[in-house]
Structure 1
Amino acid sequence: MKLWEGMNDRTRFFINLAIIVLGVYLGFRFILPLILPFIVAYILSWIVRPVTEFLYNKVKIPRIVAGSVSLIALFVLLSVALFYIGNIFIKQAINFFRNIPAYLSILAGKLDNICNSCDEVFGLAAGSVRKVVDEHMLRIVDKVKTDVIPGITTRTFYIVIGAVGFVGILLIIFISAALIIKEVPEIKSKYKNTDIYRDLTKVTARLADAGAAYFRSQLLIMALVAVCITTGLILIKNEYALLLGLGVALLDALPVLGTGMILIPWSIITLINGNIYAAAVLITTYLICQIIREVLEPKLIGSRIGIKPLYTLISMYIGLKLFGVAGFILGPIGLIIIITVIRMQNEKEPMSYTLDKGAKLE
């Protein structure tokens, strides 16, 4: 204790910061997977809270029954939406597989032209490049037959077990959400005057605001990307411009993937086909979409959750390195927790030292 009191504010600040960062990392790594279903249950209970309170206060239905009815209605709406979207994708997939022979025929013709051009450019005998390509294709097919297909077969059992486990988790989430709806008002009234409740409320309130801001920002960026892609496809007179624009915008919202997964190969194919205008429009559309996301994502998310864009970008990168794809969300959340806890500590025990000689952290 005397050692701690003898330290200057700078040393104490960095020790506090290291402890908080380590605690957040360990919490995300080991505790979050254990409590994630209950966090999802709490979020669901928060979503259906207005309907639950209406049924409880106006219709006089018991809170747990009102919550259960609200949750069932939410699950039904989500199931119907997923069924409708899944039905569209299944129909399109069926049409795609039916047309595979035609697509393969077109690709074979294009491949022949490319191989013949390579033979001419490099001065090789006719059919040399095509022979090499065919050999590699046969190796890939053999690899799929010997490794991939048996692997899929052996994993089917584990997939079924995983599906059953997922259904069980959904059941736990539903029951937990119903119990949270019933118990939370009583818990709040019992513990609202305690220090730990006030501290947790500050953190969770900040995270709730940040989460809402994050999803609003992502929806805005997706809308702008969808408009950009749809406009580009209209310019090249694509008959599925709106459908593809919405689909690629949804893909762009997923980490790692993005619009380039679709637009770059598409532009290359159209360029090979000699359609320079369409290729130029597609690559320009891709660049604009990249600028929209790279510029607006840190700006919107950072400004709305109270963190500078640079800090948001750094937290996303660190989260990606530590936790994989989930780190794109966990990184900013961890940064919010760290800043909030530091602020709470400074309110209890003010320190003269900050990261930038008196400048605010955010």
Structure 2
Amino acid sequence: MHTTSLFRHFMITVGISVAVYLFMTFLLPYLFPFLLAYILMRMLWPVMEYLHNVCKFPRFFSHYGTLILFFGGISAFFGAVIYKLYTQIRLLFTNIPVYHQTAVSFFETRCASFGRCIDHHFNLHFGTAKTFLYEQMALIGKNTTKFMNNNIWKCLYYMLSQSFHIFAFLIIVCVSMIILVREMKPLHDMFRKSRYFTPVHFVLTNVKESGLTYLKTEGIILLLNGIVCSLAFFLIHNPYFLLLGVAIAVLDAFPVLGSGMFLLPWGFFLFLSKEYLNASILFTAYIITLLIREILEARLLGDGMHLNAFVMLAAIFIGIELFGIGGILLGPLSLVLIRSLLQLASP
């Protein structure tokens, strides 16, 4: 009897896991803009109701005015960030020939020194290793140029298609939020009268308490680390401070890589170049980002999700394997959803 019960529980766990995977893979991409619109409206709804019920503003102005201010603030913030990123990316591409020439000169100098050492230790003719290294560098450069020429149009097409998808996504979210201004109360009333209200409400409550805690924590960490890294590169007078700060903050979200993969080697390079102040700034930025992640994850995730670090790391790793980069978020959310459904299915 015990074996039968254990097998039944195992099959239920497998079935729920497969169902969650199918949902995350095939349904969530289509439902996500509507879910995001609903979550944003749930955040704005108390403000709208306060302006209408307490401040006695007309419903039209309290609700749609709040929505217009929200759209305006978000658009101004992201517009400024995107414009700054665009200018820095444009500057990077403009300076690529300069960086290429600098890199070639650096490698040629190092190859010449390294080649002389090889010739000396292996009793080769002078210049043999140097010639071989130069030929390999030329071959790599030729193959890289060929690869870029063959794939540049694919990259441009991919960027244009992704831009279109992002634009369509934002339009759907905005239109959905405008419609939800009138439909929030009827939607809630209809949901409460549904026969599925109790189980769905139980699952959504667990996902909200655990899953949204994870999203909020990772979002706060991403924002703070992005600010710290951008400020550090700004202080060392790097022209790409915002671009590098955002890139390193995103890299820090990966469980294995972290911000130290960039900040520590760069800091050591500056230290060896006798730029001690700039090196100390990057080392300090690394320590701050490390403390931010350790403190916030320990306090917010541990209390909100009730998952230990090992299970969280496994969820992120499996999520990346199953869903790609988005698995950083979808992995833990899938685990929370599976756990909630198992609690609902257990007698």
Asked whether the two chains share a fold, i.e. TM above 0.5, the reply is yes
Distance 1:281 1:297, change over 3 A: same
CA offset at residue 180 of structure 1? 2.9
SS at structure 2 position matched to 1:142: helix
Q: Any gaps of 5 or more consecutive residues in structure 1?
A: 350-362
- Judge conservation of contact 1:119–1:125 (CA < 8 Å) in 2: no
Distance 2:301 2:17 in 1: 21
Equivalent position of 1:34 in the other structure: 30
* Counterpart in the other structure of 2:262: 262
Instruction: Give the 5 Å matches for 1:145-184.
Output: 145-153=145-153, 156-157=156-157, 159-184=159-184
Shift of 1:310: 2.5
| Counterpart in the other structure of 1:339 | 339
Residues 56 and 66, structure 1, Cα contact 8 Å, conserved in 2: yes
What code does the residue aligned with 2:305 have?
I
Would you say how many aligned residue pairs link Structure 1 and Structure 2?
339
1:61 counterpart (59, 71, 85): 59
2-side partners of 1:113 and 1:35: how far apart? 55
The TM-score with structure 2 as length reference comes to 0.76
Equivalent pair of 2:41/2:177 in contact (CA under 8 Å):
yes
1:359 matched to which residue of 2? none
Q: How far apart are the structure 1 equivalents of 2:288 and 2:19?
A: 40
TM-score, normalization by structure 1: 0.73
Residue 50 in 1 paired to residue 49 in 2?
A: no
Q: Which residue of 2 aligns with 1:190?
A: 190
Tell me if structure 1 keeps the 8 A contact 2:249–2:259.
no
Bigger Cα displacement from structure 2, 204-213 vs 19-28: 204-213
RMSD: 4.1
Distance in 2 (CA, whole Å) between partners of 1:103 and 1:223 is: 30
Q: CA deviation at 1:163?
A: 3.2
Deviation at 1:333, TM superposition (A): 1.0
AA aligned opposite 2:249: L
Secondary structure of residue in 1 paired with 2:57:
coil
Q: Which residue pairs with 1:250 in the alignment? A: 249
Is the CA contact (8 Å cut-off) linking 2:211 and 2:332 kept in structure 1?
no
Give the Cα separation in 2 of the matches to 1:261 and 1:307. Answer: 27
* Alignment partners' CA distance in 2, 1:51 and 1:271: 51
> Could you tell which deviates more after superposition, 106-115 or 216-225?
216-225
CA contact (8 A) 1:318 1:331 kept: yes
Show structure 2 runs of 5+ residues with no match. Answer: none
Tell whether the 8 Å contact from 1:191 to 1:197 is kept in structure 2 after alignment: yes
Q: What is the CA–CA distance in structure 2 between the aligned matches of 1:148 and 1:112, rounded to whole Å?
A: 23
Residue pairs, 1:1-362, within 5 angstroms:
9-54=5-50, 56-57=52-53, 58-62=56-60, 67-96=63-92, 100=96, 103-104=99-100, 106-122=102-118, 123=120, 127-153=127-153, 156-157=156-157, 159-218=159-218, 221-222=221-222, 238-239=236-237, 246-247=245-246, 250-255=249-254, 258-267=258-267, 269-270=269-270, 273=273, 293=293, 297=297, 300-346=300-346, 349=347
Distance 1:21 1:126 in 2: 64
Partner deviation per Cα, 1:298-334 (whole Å, 9 max, x = no partner) = 7742432222332222211221221111112111111
1:188 Cα deviation from its structure 2 partner? 2.0
Indicate the SS of the match to 2:236: coil
Contact 1:37 1:173 in 2 (8 A): yes
Maintained 8 Å contact 2:228/2:245: no
Residue 94 to residue 71, structure 1, CA distance change in 2 (3 Å): same
Change (3 A) 1:162 1:221: closer
Q: 1:360 corresponds to which residue? A: none
Superposed displacement of residue 228, structure 1: 7.9
**Does the CA contact (< 8 Å) of 1:20 and 1:338 recur in 2?**
yes
1:153-202 deviations in whole A, cap 9, x for unaligned? Answer: 25545644543344333222222222233223113223414441122222
- 2:236 corresponds to which letter in structure 1? N
* Letter of the 1:192 counterpart: R
Determine helix, strand or coil for the equivalent of 1:59.
coil
Deviations 1:76-108 (A, max 9, x none): 222211221233233434554555565455434
Go from structure 1 to structure 2 and tell me whether the alpha carbon gap of 1:201 and 1:66 turns closer, same or farther (over 3 Å shift): farther
